[in-house]
Amino acid sequence: MTSIPAAAVGLRLSVHGLEVVLGSGRRSAHILKEVSFDVPTGQTVGLVGESGSGKSTLAKTLVGVHRATAGSIIFDGEEVTSAHGEQRRLLRRKIQLIPQDPYSSLDPKRTIGQTLAEAIDPVHARLKEHRPRIIELLTMVALPADAVDRYPHQFSGGQRQRVAIARALAAEPDLIIADEITSALDVSTQAEILDLFDRLRRELGLTVIFISHNLAVVRQVSDTVLVLFQGELVESGSVADIFAHPAHPYTAELLRSVPGGPGFTLSKERL
């Protein structure tokens, strides 16, 4: 474990020179190259980039699904890449990922209550004991209390994504990574889920990495934006700066592809 310099106080996450190579031998691929960025406490950092640019790989590396090949990930002053055992387990709970696909992310054999009980306390996942907290979490994501005893297949995609949000919140994380949380949903449900997530983000003062290919939405929810292109961060800065003066041609191209052009914004009601 490494301690951080005083200058880094106020940063929830600090990533330096992160390299990720996936696969092995001739089939190995260098997915992330020298990725460095900070996530200040209480802020939302938007991460944009075309499909295949490495956004999900970055998310999975931050939560420990993939191992960094080189570089450091400092979370609340602790080096995550070198943490082991109990320390690693505790750190992992503090960074929660809401995955893209609510159909594959929930265990079909477990009731919603069992899934949430385990998220609240993986060691003593007792449904009865945790019931009040489970009901509270369901209320936060506007699901009925009787969802506790039901199974994922009894819910729509949007409802499942509400469960996935509740599951992420159950661990009382200090950082939430939302990886294209609406891309598997139909358009009307997308607005509902974005609205819910944005409300929770503001009410709970969450620190968030918000991954999306929808620049209009990223613009609405983010304080700063990172642009990933073929595994490299080609641009980072405040939302206002990047939208007004994109420095990298790829960012300019992304902005041109926003429906209605770079000036387009969603109405606040839709968020």
Interface residues toward Mg ion, by CB under 5 A: 55-56
Binding of ligand ADP by 35 (CB under 6 A): no
**Non-local CB neighbours of 124 within 8 Å, separated by 6+ positions:** none
Q: Which does residue 214 bind out of Mg ion, ligand ADP, none, counting CB within 5 to 8 angstroms by kind?
A: none
β-pairing, 232-238 vs 70-75, is unpaired
C-beta of residue 87 within 8 angstroms of C-beta of residue 25: no
In the complex, what is the shortest distance from the CB of residue 259 to ligand ADP, in angstroms, rounded to a whole number? 20
Establish if 23 lies at the interface with ligand ADP (CB under 6 A): yes
**38-77 positions binding ligand ADP, by CB under 6 A:** 49, 51-57
14 - beta bridge partners? 38, 74
Q: Which is nearer to ligand ADP, 58 or 163 (CB)?
A: 58
Coil, strand or helix at 151: coil
22 in contact with ligand ADP (CB under 6 A): yes
Q: Per CB under 6 A, which region of 10-18, 21-29, 105-113, 232-240 contacts ligand ADP? A: 21-29
From the CB of 55, what's the least distance to Mg ion, in Å?
Answer: 5
Residue 244's binding partner among ligand ADP, Mg ion, none (Cβ under 5 to 8 angstroms by kind) is none
User: Nearest approach, Cβ of 223 to ligand ADP (angstroms)?
Assistant: 21
Binding residues for ligand ADP, rule CB under 6 A, total 12
Q: Which is nearer to Mg ion, 49 or 113 (CB)?
A: 49
Q: Which does 53 bind (CB under 5 to 8 A by kind): Mg ion, ligand ADP, none?
A: ligand ADP
CA 173 to chain centre: 11
214 binds ligand ADP (CB under 6 A): no
Among 29, 70, 244, 252, binds ligand ADP (CB under 6 A): 29
Question: How far is 253 from 261, CA to CA, in rounded Å?
Answer: 11
Sheet holding 29-40, edge to edge: 29-40, 11-22, 70-75, 78-79
The string of DSSP codes covering 81-112 is TT--HHHHHHHHHHEEEE-S-TTTSS-TTS-H
Closest CA to 145 of 100, 111, 196: 111
Residue closer to Mg ion, measured from CB, 55 or 167:
55
Q: What are phi and psi of 127, to 5 degrees?
A: -60, -45
Q: Which does 142 bind (CB under 5 to 8 A by kind): Mg ion, ligand ADP, none?
A: none
Q: What whole-number distance in Å separates Cα of residue 50 and Cα of residue 84?
A: 33
Rg (C-alpha) for the chain, rounded Å, is 19
Please say which residue, 25 or 261, places its beta carbon nearer to ligand ADP.
25
Side-chain-side CA neighbours of 162 within 13 Å: the count stands at 25
Residue 17's binding partner out of Mg ion, ligand ADP, none, with CB under 5 to 8 Å set by partner kind: none
71, 2, 88: which is closest to 31 by C-alpha? Answer: 71
Cβ 100 to Mg ion shortest distance, Å:
6
**CB of residue 267 vs ligand ADP: minimum separation in angstroms?**
28
Residues at the contact surface with ligand ADP, assessed by CB under 6 A: 22-23, 29, 31, 49, 51-57
